[in-house]
C-alpha cells in the first residue's frame, strides 16, 4: 500500500513537473489517483480479436492509456484469461454469452456497449458494438470513464449518437491560411501531400474519434475550385485514407462555378445539361480516388460566392445538381442557408429565411440545409435562426462556429457550450410547446431521415492546437453536443477539466464555474442586452461600434445598433423590419412585448430610448454601462482565480493560460471604454455609479488600429 502510494506520488509529481504544451488535448492519460485500481490489470490484459487498422488503433490506445495511468512497466499477460474483451458479436464467445440481441439492436451502426461481467471469480469488462468504429468509440469511453474516476454501472454503459453526421468544417485555404483561424496555419500541408502524411493528421483524427466526430470538410467554404482537380484530389485522397480507420469521412467544399473554372464550360447554370453532366463526371472521378467520399459542402450566393442566383435559379435547383451527382455513391450535399445580399433591401436577418422557407420540400433526399445557429452571423449571442422549425420537409443541420471570430479570437476565454446549449434548448413551437431546436436537429421533430451538425473548427498548427488551452474545450464541447445535442454544458466542462488537468475538486469546481460563466462574461463586455455586430471592420477583433459607410451597409455596426440621440437597437417587430414575424406566434408574442421580451435579446428586436426602464428599474443607458462593467470585473476576477490554481497545473499550461487571461482582462476594459464613450455621444447621460471612468477619450479608441490581425484573408 505504502509503496504503491509512493509510486503514484512520484508519477504524479513528475507529471506536474513535466513540460506540458497541451498537444495531448483531453487524452492526457495522467497517473490515476488510486494506484491499486483494478484497471491496471484490465487494461494490461486485453483481448481484441482480429486484425484491422481500426483494431490496431484500439490496441495502441489501450497501451498508451495504461502506461499513462500506471507507469511504463508492462504486465505479464495471461492470454487464457483476458480481463478486457473488445469484440464484435460472433467474433468472441464472451460477447455472445454476456449480451442480448436487444442490447445489440439499440446500438445501431456506431453505438457501443460496455459491460462488467464475472468469469471464474474474476471481474472483467467487455466492449462490444456492431462495427469496429463502435468498438473504438467504446474504448475511448472506457478510458475516459477510468480517467475521470466514474463508475461503469452494473447495468452497463450503452450509448449511440443521436446525430448521423458530426462534421468539423475547416475554413482552411490551400495556401495554409485559415479564414477566421487564430491558432497558427492550417494543419493541412497541401504542398507536402500526398507523399507525406504528417503525424499531426493522425493525432487530429484520433482526437476527433475520441469525441465521435465522424466527418471533416477540409477546405474553406469560400472555395477554390482547384481542390477538385486531379492534382488536389490525389492529396485529398491521402487525407481520407489517413482518416478512414478513425471512422472519419472526408468532405470537400465545391465552388459553384467549378464547371467554368476547371471544366472549361461557358456556364455553371444548374439546369444546363452539360453542367449537370460535368458534375456527374467530376463526382465519379472523386469517388475513384475516395470510395467513401462524404459529399459536398457549398456556400453559394453569399458574400461574393457564385451560385444559382447568377442564373435566376433557386437554391434547391443549385443543390440538386450536386445531390444527383453524389447520390449513386451514397454521398450527401450540405447546402448552406447563409445566403444574403447587400442589394436586397430587406433586413439581413430575414434573408436566409425568405430564401429557403418557400422552397421547403424541393430539395433532393440527400441534401441537408446547413443553418447557422442565428440569423446574422455567429454573434456572441443570437436568438436561434427562425428557419429551425420552419422547414418540416427539408432536413436542417446546425452550424456552430467553434473558432471565435466575434468572441475575442484566441486569447479571450469563452467556453461556448452554454451558448450552443442555449440555442439547442430554444423552443421553436413548430409543433407546439417543447419543439426544441435540438429536436429539429436530431430529426425527431419532423422525422428527418438525414441529420447532421457542423462546427467551424478552431484548430491550427499551434502546439496546443487551439491557441488558448481552454479553447480545446470548445472543440470537445462540439463533439459531445454533436453526439448528443442534449448533453449539459456543466457536464461537458467537468469531464473536459478532469480529462485535461486533474480530478481534484479544488481545481475542477472553481474552474468549471469560471468556464460556465465565461460566455456570459464576454457578452457583457462586448454586446450586452442584445447589441450585436459592433466589432471592428473586417477582422472583427476589438470594438468598432463606430464602423459605418464603406459600400456594404450590412457589414457596418451602425446598421445593427442604430444609435441616435433618441435611442438604440434594431426594431425587428412589426413596426420595424418584422424579422420577428418569421418566428412562431408564441415567440412573437413574448419577444415582441416589452414586458415579456427577454432582456438578453432586447436591442436585437427593439429600438428603445436611452431612458427606457429595465426590469430592475435602471435606465437602459445605466443597464448597458453596468453590464460592460460587470464583464470587466469578471475578466479581472478570473485572473485572480487562475493565479490561485498554480499548485494544480503544470507550469507550462499555467503560465500560458495566465498570460492570455491578462490580455482578456485588458481587452475587456478596451471594449467597455470604447463602447461606452461611443454610445455616450448619443445618450448624453453620465456613467452610473460603479462604472469606472475611461482612461482615454473616444478619439484614442477610434484611432487605435491593431495591425495584421490574423484570420482575415
Write out the catalytic residue numbers.
303, 377, 405
Please count the residues of this chain forming the interface with ligand BDP, following the rule CB under 6 A.
10
**Residue among 386 and 592 whose Cβ is closer to ligand BDP:** 386
Q: Where are the beta strands (DSSP E) in 215-330?
A: 215-217, 249-253, 295-298
Which position among 110, 172, 347, 405 is part of the footprint of ligand BDP (CB under 6 A)? 405
Residues 162 to 221: which contact ligand BDP by CB under 6 A? 179-180, 221
* Contact indicator for 558, 565 with CB cutoff of 8 Å: no
**Whole-number Å distance between alpha carbons of 675 and 685:** 14
Site string for ligand BDP, 301-340 (x = CB under 6 A): --x----------------------------------x--
Residues linked to residue 333 through DSSP beta bridges, in sequence order:
296, 367
Residues in the chain: 713
Closest CA to 186 of 540, 541, 711, 538: 711
**Residue among 66 and 299 whose Cβ is closer to ligand BDP:** 299
How far is CA 497 from each of CA 9, 144, 410, rounded to the nearest angstrom? 20, 12, 19
Whole-angstrom Cα Rg for the chain: 26
What one-character-per-residue DSSP string does 83-138 give?
SEEE--TTS-HHHHHH--HHHHHTTTTT-EEEEEEEETTEEEEEEEESSHHHHHHH
**Residue among 131 and 222 whose Cβ is closer to ligand BDP:** 222
SS3 content of the chain, % helix, strand, coil (to 5): 45, 10, 45
Q: What are phi and psi of 454, to 5 degrees?
A: -120, 150
Give the shortest CB-338-to-ligand BDP separation in angstroms.
5
Q: What are phi and psi of 619, to 5 degrees?
A: -75, 160
**Whole-number Å distance between alpha carbons of 192 and 176:** 12
CB atoms under 10 Å from CB of 526, counted, come to 29
**Residue among 222 and 310 whose Cβ is closer to ligand BDP:** 222
**Whole-number Å distance between alpha carbons of 456 and 282:** 26
Which position among 164, 166, 206, 299 is part of the footprint of ligand BDP (CB under 6 A)? 299
Site string for ligand BDP, 250-289 (x = CB under 6 A): ----------------------------------------
Give the shortest CB-545-to-ligand BDP separation in angstroms.
18
- The terminus-to-terminus CA distance of the chain in angstroms comes to 59
Which position among 378, 525, 610, 671 is part of the footprint of ligand BDP (CB under 6 A)? 378
**Residue among 305 and 629 whose Cβ is closer to ligand BDP:** 305
Per rule CB under 6 A, is residue 673 in the interface with ligand BDP? no
Give the shortest CB-409-to-ligand BDP separation in angstroms.
12
Residues 572, 578, 580, 585, CA torsion sign: positive
**228: which 3 cell numbers?**
477538385
Give the shortest CB-406-to-ligand BDP separation in angstroms.
7
Per rule CB under 6 A, is residue 377 in the interface with ligand BDP? yes
Query: Among all residues, whose Cβ is closest to ligand BDP?
Result: 377
**309: which 3 cell numbers?**
442566383
Omega of the bond leading into 533 within 30 degrees of 0 (cis): no
Give the shortest CB-179-to-ligand BDP separation in angstroms.
5
Per rule CB under 6 A, is residue 634 in the interface with ligand BDP? no
* Contact indicator for 247, 133 with CB cutoff of 8 Å: yes
**Residue among 179 and 520 whose Cβ is closer to ligand BDP:** 179
Give the shortest CB-221-to-ligand BDP separation in angstroms.
5
**Residue among 179 and 650 whose Cβ is closer to ligand BDP:** 179
- Looking at 529-610, list the stretches that DSSP marks H as alpha helix, in order from N- to C-terminal side: 557-561, 585-592, 602-605
* Contact indicator for 687, 676 with CB cutoff of 8 Å: yes
**Residue among 140 and 560 whose Cβ is closer to ligand BDP:** 560
Give the shortest CB-633-to-ligand BDP separation in angstroms.
29
Give the shortest CB-229-to-ligand BDP separation in angstroms.
22
Binding site for ligand BDP (CB under 6 A): 179-180, 221-222, 299, 303, 338, 377-378, 405
Amino acid at each position: 500500500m505504502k509503496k504503491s502510494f509512493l509510486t503514484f506520488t512520484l508519477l504524479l509529481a513528475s507529471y506536474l513537473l513535466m513540460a506540458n504544451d497541451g498537444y495531448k488535448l483531453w487524452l492526457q492519460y495522467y497517473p490515476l489517483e488510486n494506484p491499486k485500481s483494478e484497471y491496471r490489470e484490465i487494461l494490461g490484459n486485453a483481448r481484441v480479436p482480429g486484425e484491422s487498422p481500426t483494431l490496431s488503433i484500439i490496441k495502441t490506445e489501450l497501451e498508451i492509456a495504461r502506461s499513462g495511468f500506471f507507469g511504463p512497466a508492462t504486465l505479464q499477460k495471461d492470454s487464457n484469461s483476458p480481463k478486457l474483451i473488445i469484440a464484435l458479436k460472433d467474433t468472441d464467445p464472451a460477447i455472445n454469452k454476456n449480451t442480448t440481441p436487444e442490447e445489440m439492436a439499440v446500438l445501431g451502426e456506431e453505438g457501443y456497449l460496455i459491460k462488467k461481467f464475472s468469469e471464474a471469480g474474476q471481474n472483467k469488462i467487455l466492449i462490444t458494438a456492431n462495427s469496429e468504429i463502435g468498438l473504438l468509440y467504446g474504448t475511448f469511453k472506457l478510458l475516459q470513464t477510468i480517467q475521470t474516476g466514474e463508475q461503469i454501472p452494473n447495468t452497463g454503459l450503452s450509448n449511440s449518437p443521436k446525430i448521423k453526421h458530426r462534421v468539423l468544417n475547416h475554413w482552411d485555404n490551400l495556401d495554409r491560411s485559415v479564414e477566421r483561424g487564430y491558432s497558427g496555419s492550417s494543419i493541412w500541408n497541401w504542398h507536402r501531400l500526398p507523399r507525406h502524411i504528417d503525424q499531426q493528421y493522425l493525432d487530429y483524427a484520433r482526437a476527433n474519434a475520441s469525441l465521435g466526430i465522424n466527418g471533416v470538410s477540409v477546405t474553406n467554404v469560400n472555395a477554390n475550385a482547384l481542390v477538385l482537380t486531379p492534382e488536389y484530389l490525389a492529396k485529398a485522397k491521402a487525407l481520407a485514407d489517413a482518416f478512414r480507420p478513425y471512422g472519419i469521412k472526408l468532405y470537400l467544399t465545391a465552388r459553384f462555378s467549378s464547371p467554368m473554372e476547371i471544366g472549361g464550360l461557358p456556364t455553371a447554370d444548374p439546369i444546363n445539361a452539360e453542367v449537370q453532366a460535368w458534375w456527374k463526371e467530376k463526382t465519379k472521378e472523386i469517388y475513384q480516388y475516395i470510395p467513401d467520399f462524404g459529399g459536398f459542402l457549398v456556400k453559394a450566393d453569399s458574400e461574393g460566392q457564385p451560385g444559382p442566383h447568377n442564373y435566376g435559379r433557386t437554391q434547391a435547383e443549385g443543390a440538386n445538381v450536386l445531390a444527383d451527382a453524389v447520390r449513386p455513391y451514397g454521398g450527401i450535399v450540405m447546402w448552406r442557408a447563409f445566403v444574403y445580399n447587400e442589394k436586397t433591401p430587406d433586413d439581413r436577418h430575414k434573408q436566409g429565411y425568405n430564401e429557403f422557407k418557400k422552397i421547403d420540400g424541393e430539395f433532393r433526399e440527400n441534401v441537408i440545409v446547413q443553418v447557422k445557429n442565428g440569423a446574422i452571423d455567429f454573434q456572441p449571442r443570437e436568438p436561434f435562426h427562425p428557419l429551425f422549425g420552419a422547414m418540416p420537409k427539408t432536413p436542417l443541420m446546425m452550424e456552430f462556429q467553434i473558432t471565435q471570430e466575434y468572441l475575442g479570437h484566441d486569447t479571450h476565454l469563452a467556453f461556448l457550450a452554454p451558448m450552443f446549449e442555449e440555442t439547442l434548448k430554444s423552443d421553436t413551437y413548430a409543433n407546439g410547446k417543447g419543439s426544441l431546436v435540438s429536436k429539429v436537429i436530431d430529426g425527431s421533430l419532423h422525422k428527418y431521415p438525414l441529420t447532421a451538425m457542423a462546427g467551424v473548427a478552431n484548430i491550427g498548427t499551434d502546439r496546443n492546437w487551439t491557441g488558448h488551452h481552454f479553447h480545446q474545450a470548445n472543440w470537445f464541447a462540439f463533439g459531445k453536443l454533436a453526439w448528443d445535442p442534449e448533453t449539459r454544458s456543466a457536464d461537458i466542462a467537468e469531464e473536459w477539466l478532469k480529462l485535461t488537468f486533474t480530478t481534484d475538486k479544488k481545481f475542477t469546481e472553481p474552474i468549471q464555474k469560471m468556464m460556465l460563466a465565461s460566455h456570459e462574461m464576454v457578452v457583457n463586455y462586448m454586446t450586452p442586452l442584445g447589441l450585436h455586430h459592433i466589432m471592428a471592420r473586417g477582422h472583427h477583433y476589438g470594438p468598432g461600434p463606430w464602423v459605418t459607410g464603406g459600400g456594404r451597409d450590412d457589414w457596418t455596426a451602425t446598421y445593427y445598433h442604430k444609435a441616435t440621440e433618441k435611442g438604440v437597437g434594431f426594431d425587428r417587430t412589426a413596426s420595424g423590419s418584422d424579422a420577428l414575424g418569421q418566428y412562431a406566434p408564441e415567440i412573437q408574442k413574448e419577444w415582441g412585448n416589452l414586458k415579456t421580451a427577454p432582456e438578453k435579446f432586447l436591442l436585437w428586436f427593439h429600438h428603445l430610448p436611452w431612458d427606457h426602464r429595465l426590469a430592475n428599474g435602471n435606465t437602459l443607458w445605466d443597464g448597458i454601462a453596468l453590464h460592460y462593467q460587470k464583464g470587466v470585473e469578471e475578466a479581472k476576477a478570473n485572473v485572480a482565480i487562475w493565479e490561485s490554481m498554480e499548485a494544480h497545473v503544470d507550469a507550462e499550461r499555467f503560465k500560458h493560460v495566465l498570460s492570455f487571461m491578462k490580455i482578456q482582462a485588458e481587452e475587456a476594459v478596451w471594449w467597455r471604454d470604447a463602447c461606452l464613450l461611443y454610445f455616450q455621444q448619443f445618450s448624453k447621460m453620465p456613467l452610473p455609479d460603479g462604472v469606472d471612468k475611461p482612461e482615454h477619450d473616444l478619439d484614442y479608441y477610434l484611432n487605435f488600429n491593431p495591425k495584421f490581425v490574423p484570420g482575415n484573408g
